[in-house]
Chain A
Amino acid sequence: MSAIPSQGNTGRLPGFEETDNTADVPGKRATLVLHMDRFNQVTRQVCQVAESKRPPFAWYAAFAVSLALVGLLGICVNYLIFTGVGVWGLNNPVMWAFDITNFVFWVGIGHAGTLISAILFLFRQKWRTGINRFAEAMTIFAVICAGLFPGIHVGR
Chain B
Amino acid sequence: MPSLNGSDKTISLPVSQPQAGGCGCSDSSESKRTVDARKGASWWRSLGEREQDAQAMAFAHREFPVAADTLDGEDRRTFIKIMGAGFALAGLGLTGCRRWPESEIVPNASQPANRVPGVPVMYATATELRGVGYGLMATSYDGRPIKLDGNAEHPYWGGASTPWMQARVLELYDPERSRQVFKAGKASNIAEFNAWLGERAKALAAKQGEGLAILTQATSSPSMKDMLARVKQAYPKAKVAAWEALAATGSLDGTQIAFGAPMRLVPQVEKASVIVALDWDMLGTDPTALRHTRMWAEGRRLNGADPSKQTQNRLYAFEPHVTVTGMAADTRVAVRRGDIAVLAAMIAQALGVSGDASLTAAIGRLASSPAAKGMLDEHSKEVVDQLVKDLQGAKGASFVMCGTGQSAEVHALVAAINQSIGAMGTTVGVQAADAGAMRLPELVTAMNAGQLDTLLIVGANPCYDAPADLAFSKALAKVPNVARLAYYRDETSVDPACTFHVPQAHFLECWGDVTAPDGTKSIQQPLIQPLIDPAQGGVSGIEMLAMLLGGSEPKDGYTIVRRTSMASSGLSGAAFETMWRGCLDKGVMSAATPSAAPGSIRAGDVAKAVSALADAQPSSRDAGLELCFIPDNRVLDGRFANIGWMQELPDPVTKITWDNALLLSPTTANRLGVKQGAMVKVTAGDRSMQAAVFAVPGMADDTAAIALGNGRKEVAGTIATDAGFDAYPMRTTAAMGMVRGASVQVTGDTYTFAHTQDHGSIDAALIPSVPHNSVQERLPTLVRETTLESYKHHPDFAEHAVHVPHRLSLWQEGNLDGAQFRWAMSVDLTTCTGCQSCVTACQAENNIPIVGKDQVKRGREMFWIRVDRYFRGADPAKPDGFAVQPLTCVQCENAPCEQVCPVAATVHDSDGLNNMVYNRCIGTRYCSNNCPYKVRRFNFFDYQRRDPIREQQGPMQVKPEYYVETGPDEWLRMQFNPEVTVRMRGVMEKCSFCVQRIAQAKIKYKNEWAKAGGTASGKPNYSIPDGAVVTACQQACPAQAIVFGDLNDANSKVSKLHAARVSYGLLEELNTKPRLKYMARVRNPGVDHGAGDHGHDHGSGDGHGGHANNGTQNGAQA
A82 and B66 alpha carbons, distance in the complex (Å): 48
Which chain A positions have C-beta within 8 A of B958? 83-84, 86-87
A33 and B987 alpha carbons, distance in the complex (Å): 60
Whether B30 contacts A96 by the Cβ 8 Å rule is no
Partner of B94, one of A83, A95, A143, A152: A152
Which chain B positions have C-beta within 8 A of A126? 66
Which chain A positions have C-beta within 8 A of B66? 126, 129
Whether A86 contacts B860 by the Cβ 8 Å rule is yes
- Given A92-B928, A156-B94, A156-B923, CB of A151 within 8 Å of CB of B70: no
Q: Is A49 an interface residue (CB 8 A)?
A: no
Whether A154 contacts B940 by the Cβ 8 Å rule is no
Which chain A positions have C-beta within 8 A of B859? 91-94
Instruction: Name B923's closest neighbour in chain A (CB-CB).
Output: A155
A2 and B923 alpha carbons, distance in the complex (Å): 56
- Given A84-B940, A126-B66, CB of A153 within 8 Å of CB of B858: no
Stretch at the interface among B83-91, B285-293, B600-608, B886-894: B83-91
Q: Is A42 an interface residue (CB 8 A)?
A: no
In residues 745-766 of chain B, which contact A (Cβ within 8 Å)? 759-760
Whether B925 contacts A96 by the Cβ 8 Å rule is yes
Q: Is B435 an interface residue (CB 8 A)?
A: no
Whether B923 contacts A103 by the Cβ 8 Å rule is no
A132 and B67 alpha carbons, distance in the complex (Å): 9
A129 and B942 alpha carbons, distance in the complex (Å): 51
Whether B67 contacts A81 by the Cβ 8 Å rule is no
Q: Is A70 an interface residue (CB 8 A)?
A: no
Partner of B940, one of A85, A99, A129, A136: A85
Whether B922 contacts A133 by the Cβ 8 Å rule is no
Within the complex, the shortest CB–CB distance from B756 to chain A, in Å, comes to: 10
- Contact flags A113-130 to B (C-beta < 8 A → 1, else 0): 000000001000010010
Q: Is A140 an interface residue (CB 8 A)?
A: yes
Stretch at the interface among B713-721, B840-848, B931-939, B1109-1117: B931-939
Whether B987 contacts A156 by the Cβ 8 Å rule is yes
In residues 11-37 of chain B, which contact A (Cβ within 8 Å)? 20, 23-24, 26-28, 30
Whether B24 contacts A150 by the Cβ 8 Å rule is yes
Which chain B positions have C-beta within 8 A of A87? 955, 958
Q: Is A69 an interface residue (CB 8 A)?
A: no
Instruction: Name A151's closest neighbour in chain B (CB-CB).
Output: B90
Which chain B positions have C-beta within 8 A of A153? 24, 27, 924
Whether A156 contacts B928 by the Cβ 8 Å rule is no
- Given A92-B759, A126-B66, CB of A156 within 8 Å of CB of B23: no
A46 and B445 alpha carbons, distance in the complex (Å): 100
Q: Is A79 an interface residue (CB 8 A)?
A: yes
Which chain A positions have C-beta within 8 A of B79? 140
Which chain B positions have C-beta within 8 A of A83? 941, 958, 960, 963
Within the complex, the shortest CB–CB distance from A124 to chain B, in Å, comes to: 10
A85 and B937 alpha carbons, distance in the complex (Å): 14
Q: Is A73 an interface residue (CB 8 A)?
A: no
- Given A84-B940, A156-B923, CB of A96 within 8 Å of CB of B858: no
Which chain A positions have C-beta within 8 A of B984? 156
**Most interface-central of A82, A91, A151 (chain B CB within 10 A):** A151
- Given A82-B963, A95-B928, A129-B67, CB of A150 within 8 Å of CB of B941: no
Whether B27 contacts A150 by the Cβ 8 Å rule is yes
Whether B94 contacts A151 by the Cβ 8 Å rule is yes
In residues 52-109 of chain A, which contact B (Cβ within 8 Å)? 79, 81-87, 89-96, 99-100, 103-104
A129 and B26 alpha carbons, distance in the complex (Å): 30
- Given A147-B87, A150-B87, A155-B985, CB of A96 within 8 Å of CB of B23: yes
Contact residue range for chain A?
A: 35 or more
Whether B83 contacts A155 by the Cβ 8 Å rule is no
Q: Is A47 an interface residue (CB 8 A)?
A: no
Main secondary structure on chain A at its contact with chain B? helix
Whether A85 contacts B23 by the Cβ 8 Å rule is no
Whether A82 contacts B960 by the Cβ 8 Å rule is yes
Within the complex, the shortest CB–CB distance from A91 to chain B, in Å, comes to: 4
A124 and B947 alpha carbons, distance in the complex (Å): 64
Partner of A150, one of B30, B70, B760, B985: B30
Q: Is A144 an interface residue (CB 8 A)?
A: yes
Whether B940 contacts A81 by the Cβ 8 Å rule is no
Whether B95 contacts A154 by the Cβ 8 Å rule is yes
Within the complex, the shortest CB–CB distance from A84 to chain B, in Å, comes to: 4
Instruction: Name B851's closest neighbour in chain A (CB-CB).
Output: A86
A91 and B856 alpha carbons, distance in the complex (Å): 9
In residues 21-77 of chain B, which contact A (Cβ within 8 Å)? 23-24, 26-28, 30, 66-67, 70-71
Instruction: Name B98's closest neighbour in chain A (CB-CB).
Output: A156
A99 and B97 alpha carbons, distance in the complex (Å): 20
Partner of B937, one of A90, A92, A103, A154: A92
**Most interface-central of B90, B938, B940 (chain A CB within 10 A):** B940
Instruction: Name B961's closest neighbour in chain A (CB-CB).
Output: A82
Which chain A positions have C-beta within 8 A of B987? 155-156
Which chain B positions have C-beta within 8 A of A91? 858-860
Instruction: Name B29's closest neighbour in chain A (CB-CB).
Output: A150
Which chain A positions have C-beta within 8 A of B95? 154, 156
Which chain B positions have C-beta within 8 A of A155? 921-925, 938-940, 985-988
- Given A92-B928, A150-B30, CB of A84 within 8 Å of CB of B94: no
Whether B24 contacts A96 by the Cβ 8 Å rule is yes
Instruction: Name B857's closest neighbour in chain A (CB-CB).
Output: A91
Which chain B positions have C-beta within 8 A of A152? 90, 94
Within the complex, the shortest CB–CB distance from A61 to chain B, in Å, comes to: 29
Partner of B960, one of A79, A85, A93, A129: A79
Which chain A positions have C-beta within 8 A of B617? none
A121 and B955 alpha carbons, distance in the complex (Å): 48
Q: Is B690 an interface residue (CB 8 A)?
A: no
Instruction: Name B941's closest neighbour in chain A (CB-CB).
Output: A84
Whether A89 contacts B939 by the Cβ 8 Å rule is no
- Contact flags B935-977 to A (C-beta < 8 A → 1, else 0): 0111111100000000000010010100100000000000000
Whether A154 contacts B960 by the Cβ 8 Å rule is no
Instruction: Name B960's closest neighbour in chain A (CB-CB).
Output: A82
Whether A96 contacts B929 by the Cβ 8 Å rule is yes
A93 and B937 alpha carbons, distance in the complex (Å): 9
- Given A83-B960, A90-B940, A92-B928, CB of A144 within 8 Å of CB of B94: no
Within the complex, the shortest CB–CB distance from A97 to chain B, in Å, comes to: 10
A153 and B855 alpha carbons, distance in the complex (Å): 19
Whether A147 contacts B83 by the Cβ 8 Å rule is yes
A84 and B91 alpha carbons, distance in the complex (Å): 14
Which chain A positions have C-beta within 8 A of B986? 84-85, 154-156
Whether A85 contacts B24 by the Cβ 8 Å rule is no
Whether A103 contacts B938 by the Cβ 8 Å rule is no
Which chain B positions have C-beta within 8 A of A147? 26, 30, 83, 87
Which chain B positions have C-beta within 8 A of A82? 960, 963
- Given A129-B67, A153-B27, A156-B95, CB of A92 within 8 Å of CB of B938: yes
A83 and B936 alpha carbons, distance in the complex (Å): 21
Within the complex, the shortest CB–CB distance from A127 to chain B, in Å, comes to: 10
**Most interface-central of B23, B921, B955, B963 (chain A CB within 10 A):** B23
Within the complex, the shortest CB–CB distance from B500 to chain A, in Å, comes to: 44
A145 and B984 alpha carbons, distance in the complex (Å): 28
**Can you list 15 A-B pairs with a CB-CB distance of less than 8 A?**
A86-B855, A86-B958, A90-B925, A93-B859, A96-B24, A136-B71, A146-B26, A150-B26, A151-B27, A151-B90, A154-B94, A154-B923, A155-B923, A156-B922, A156-B986
Q: A residues near B, CB below 8 A?
A: 79, 81-87, 89-96, 99-100, 103-104, 121, 126, 129, 132-133, 136, 140, 143-144, 146-147, 150-156
Apart from A85-B940, A152-B94: 20 A-B pairs, beta carbons within 8 A: A83-B941, A84-B940, A86-B860, A86-B940, A92-B859, A92-B936, A95-B925, A95-B938, A96-B23, A103-B23, A104-B23, A121-B67, A140-B79, A150-B87, A150-B91, A153-B924, A155-B922, A156-B94, A156-B95, A156-B98
- Give 9 closest A-B pairs by Cβ, nearest first: A155-B923, A155-B986, A86-B940, A150-B27, A91-B859, A156-B986, A95-B925, A83-B958, A84-B941
